Amino acid sequence: MTSADIALTEVSGNTVSARAYVYAISAGADVVKIGKAKNPGNRLKELQTSHHQPLVLLYSLECAAGEVAAVEREAHYLLRRHRLEGEWFKVDGDYAMRAICQALDIVRIRENLGEAGKTPRTDAAERLVRKIPEHAREDCAWKTARQFECELRELQRKMKEAAA
């Protein structure tokens, strides 16, 4: 990945990236760091200077700059039971990649619910996410975005019925 691969825009004479990445960097077989960066290759080089093991960039997912922090946060949440320290997790690269992809799907589903998911009385979108049981939420990394979206809509339908 080179800086030429990232879409750029001009803002007051300064070049600013409109895209960013959520990445998975491995330090051995089952230790992965999930983070965000405008350039994952450069981030790998920065991390390598302070790490005793060889690091490998396993995966990077391009996101809009405005959603990258939410995607990283959601991926950390999906992997929370495997956390070693900070942004490092005891998972293999495949599991980390699926968690990042699922995190992007979850963030975009929440964005799409937006105002349609809100009522004057409650923020329904947030309530829907909170209503998913903890054990089911952990399994979200293995679900497709469509399955997650269907679960959210079913919970929304039940909430409307209960409110009526």
The torsion region of residue 94 among left (phi > 0), alpha (psi -120 to 50) and beta comes to: alpha
Question: Going by C-beta distance under 8 Å and a sequence separation of 6 or more, which residues neighbour residue 39?
Answer: 1, 3, 6, 21
Task: Give pLDDT, residue 119.
Answer: 41
Residue 163, token pair as written in the block: 């409110």
Find the distance separating the first CA and the last CA of the chain, reported in whole Å: 53
Instruction: Give the pLDDT confidence of 69-96 residue by residue, as tens digits.
Output: 999 999 999 999 999 999 999 999 999 9
Instruction: Give the pLDDT confidence of 93-144 residue by residue, as tens digits.
Output: 999 999 999 888 888 887 776 655 444 334 554 555 555 555 555 555 444 5
Average pLDDT over residues 35-57: 92
Q: How many CB atoms lie within 10 A of CB 149?
A: 17
